[in-house]
Structure 1
Amino acid sequence: MDFEYTAEQQLLRDTVTEFLAARYELEKSRAAARVGIGWQPEIWQAFANEVGILGAALPESVGGFDGGPVETLIIAEAFGGALVVEPYVDTVVVGAGLLQRAGGARAAELSSGIVSGDVITALAALEADSGYNLTKVSTTARRDGDEWVLDGTKTVVTSAPLATHLLVTARTPDSDGVSLFLVPAGTAGLTLHSYRTIDERRAADIVLDGVRVPADALLGSEGAADDSLAAAADEAIAAVCAEAVGAMRRVLADTVEYAKQRRQFGVPIGSFQALQHRMVDMHFEVEQAIAATYLVTLKLGAAPAERARAAAAAKATIGRAARFVGQSAVQLHGAMGMTEELAVGHFFKRLTAIQFEWGTTDQHIARYAALTRP
């Protein structure tokens, strides 16, 4: 596979990496995630105004730089290597992607707000019995004069406590498909039960009890969001896979360095052949994850079935690699691997969570099998 960055993409990668190295301190971000508000708004504004990366993959018509999936991959991988908790995938990849597909003046306005850092979005799609199926929706929306009235519940809505706007899936009486609605945070009848996830991010379970929104809160056509949701989900998978690659690169590098420094029986533990073999296996897993991530990134513009196969293969590959690399890193670090002092413990929790985001490893293996069945 020929995958080389252009000069502009290399500059983007260097800019993001250098900014994170200089400004994104792991200790400070962990404190904000554990006992603070869950993120660093000043860093988010710096992403928008100082380095301009929130608009790197968005079209010029909304203030972006007209990039694409490769730019998203570059940013997400860098974010994974720095363990960034700010809601890049939920807002810039999923939110902006759905808004661009919906079209219209309202969607363009919100997309511009994403580029400027003023709008944060969260997709409220999953329900208690939906599993990974984003179109298995029981939340309802009905017309009442010039308004829509929404009722239902959503589970594990990542970034919801940080969001200025929720993108809510619902079914209407006059359509068999899923519709997508824009619900501003704080709308009457909207209740968030917020919590911190295992990887120290913010999420919420949501109850919509007679939530009223104006007619133009419907994004796109009524009952026409199924294809947009499928495409947005595969784009999110590609971005999360890139994030996992960045995290695994960092974990592998830290493990190799630790093995060089940690001494036992008077010699570095990295000199033990059994541990060398384990680190080589970690390297192979990372390389396979990189290849799978590159493939799905390049297939995001392909036909839906081809795109879906690449996404399923990448997510399954990443799930296996994240599990092996994360667990091996903790094991090779010994008890220190699970402490708050070392970065590897925090990366392990994030890699564990990634295995379940946007579908589990087993679900995507089954999805790939279904997509390749004659």
Structure 2
Amino acid sequence: MDFDFTDDQESLRDATRKWVEKGYDFARRASIVKAGGFSREAYGELASLGLTGLCISEEDGGLGMGPVEGMVVMEELGRGMVLEPFVQTLIASGVLSGHAPQAVKAAWLPKIASGESLIVLAYQERAARYQLEKCEAKAASAQDGWALTAIKSIVPAGDQANAFIVPAMADGQMALFLVERSATGVTTHGYGTQDGARAAEVTLDNAPAVLITLDGLTALEHAIDIGIAATCAEAVGVMDRALAVTVEYMNTRKQFGVAISSFQALRHRIADMKMQLELARSMSYYASLKLNAPAEERRRALARAKYQLGVSMRFVGQQAVQLHGGIGVTDEYIVSHYFKKLTQLEMTFGDTLHHLGEVSSRMQDTAGVFA
């Protein structure tokens, strides 16, 4: 089996990496954090590279690429800890392409592909934790479609997005809807998140909505799995840079007249970080390759991947800080931001303990050994 990336995928990686290195350095990122954690200009630059249409069909104005290309891009964006929620663009592209009626696709997919519209998933509720089937949002039939009443929490760039994908209960079953931020009955309260990005509480009060699908739980699970795969790839990029910065620091920091990279105990810790990074990388590949598998197989695979990534993120982040010493926790030094990013990613779309439970509950009689 050929595990090499194609020339097109390598070109995509190179273009994204060059933008991150030249157009999204640490100083620019810090200025975006200071301005609120989201830059429409930076998001527009991603669109100008064609990335916002990455997984949208050519008929709808996109590039018609797939999960592996999404993984390649997310790794590179992770290296720069890009704040703009590109994960949400991949989710919206996948959900609308796979579950929406043709009229909704025609209205929104070209806008997503061009970067004109940012659509984000608004699914988290205070009482739900990570259980997707728990939903208190209500949808009622209205004269022109549907009206939604809901409170959704920690919505990425919720006060900046153009529209939301919202799960709500309709006639006793979960359905998925699209709600424009400018619609009547929609209010948002934005705030900064721990990693410097932006989120919002979104309140819907009989807000007009367009139906995406009545099979809402299936579509929501698909959306979350896209998010998990993208988050895994992003985390690999963050860990890769955290390890590189730590090695560079150890090669320059001297103790007792020699570089601390010569100390055997510290070299062993670097080796352990590298091992965790490569475990994470292989499971990220596994997650992306399983995105188009049947639902049960996909859900099981994504839970496995997120569990391993959670373990690796925690280990690599903590070791990076500890090997730097006191400077590793200062806001002025980049490694502290890698640590905060990894800590937040570990809890995104289900934390490590949650996915350990998912892996356990989805085990078959063979526990996967002979499956």
TM-score range, shorter chain: over 0.9
> C-alpha distance in 1, partners of 2:203/2:190?
11
Unaligned runs of 5+ in 1: none
Query: What amino acid maps onto 2:304 in structure 1?
Result: A
> C-alpha distance in 2, partners of 1:146/1:58?
28
Return 301-310 or 102-111, whichever deviates more. Answer: 102-111
Structure 2 residue corresponding to 1:244, chosen from 220, 228, 235:
235
Counterpart in the other structure of 1:316: 307
Within the alignment, does 1:151 sit opposite 2:149 as a pair?
A: yes
Structure 2 residue corresponding to 1:342, chosen from 298, 319, 333:
333
- Aligned with 1:243: secondary structure? helix
Structure 2 residue corresponding to 1:68, chosen from 66, 91, 100:
66
Unaligned runs of 5+ in 2: 366-371
Return 328-337 or 127-136, whichever deviates more. Answer: 127-136
Counterpart in the other structure of 2:3: 3
Within the alignment, does 1:96 sit opposite 2:93 as a pair?
A: yes
Counterpart in the other structure of 1:46: 45
- Aligned with 1:218: secondary structure? strand
> C-alpha distance in 2, partners of 1:110/1:156?
23
1:123 CA drift (Å): 1.0
Counterpart in the other structure of 1:218: 211
> C-alpha distance in 2, partners of 1:294/1:3?
10
Q: State the number of aligned residues.
A: 364
Within the alignment, does 1:268 sit opposite 2:259 as a pair?
A: yes
1:310 CA drift (Å): 1.2
Counterpart in the other structure of 2:115: 117
1:2 CA drift (Å): 4.3
1:341 CA drift (Å): 2.2
Return 164-173 or 359-368, whichever deviates more. Answer: 164-173
Within the alignment, does 1:199 sit opposite 2:195 as a pair?
A: yes
Query: What amino acid maps onto 2:211 in structure 1?
Result: L
Query: What amino acid maps onto 1:209 in structure 2?
Result: D
RMSD (Å) for aligned C-alpha atoms: 1.4
> C-alpha distance in 2, partners of 1:97/1:31?
31
Matches within 5 A, 1:175-194: 176-194=172-190
Counterpart in the other structure of 1:357: 348
Query: What amino acid maps onto 1:13 in structure 2?
Result: R
- Aligned with 1:242: secondary structure? helix
> C-alpha distance in 2, partners of 1:46/1:308?
33
Distance 1:212 1:58, change over 3 A: closer
Return 231-240 or 23-32, whichever deviates more. Answer: 23-32
> C-alpha distance in 1, partners of 2:293/2:80?
31
Identity of aligned residues (%): 38
> C-alpha distance in 1, partners of 2:152/2:30?
27
Counterpart in the other structure of 2:218: 227
TM-score of the superposition, structure 2-length normalised?
0.95
| Contact 1:94-1:236 at 8 Å conserved across structures | yes
> C-alpha distance in 2, partners of 1:116/1:136?
34
- Aligned with 1:349: secondary structure? helix
Query: What amino acid maps onto 1:118 in structure 2?
Result: E
Q: Deviations over 1:206-226 (max 9, x none)?
A: 22222234xxx1113xx3121
1:197 CA drift (Å): 0.9
| Contact 1:301-1:307 at 8 Å conserved across structures | yes
Q: Deviations over 1:244-291 (max 9, x none)?
A: 000000000110110000011111111111111110000000000001
- Aligned with 2:173: secondary structure? coil
Within the alignment, does 1:258 sit opposite 2:256 as a pair?
A: no
> C-alpha distance in 2, partners of 1:325/1:225?
36
1:106 CA drift (Å): 2.2
Counterpart in the other structure of 2:368: none
- Aligned with 1:178: secondary structure? strand
Structure 1 residue corresponding to 2:164, chosen from 163, 166, 177:
166
Counterpart in the other structure of 1:106: 104
Q: Deviations over 1:100-145 (max 9, x none)?
A: 1213222232111111111111111111111112231111111132
- Aligned with 2:205: secondary structure? strand
TM-score of the superposition, structure 1-length normalised?
0.94
- Aligned with 1:230: secondary structure? helix
> C-alpha distance in 2, partners of 1:362/1:300?
22
> C-alpha distance in 1, partners of 2:144/2:50?
38
- Aligned with 1:169: secondary structure? strand
> C-alpha distance in 2, partners of 1:263/1:5?
39
> C-alpha distance in 1, partners of 2:302/2:2?
19
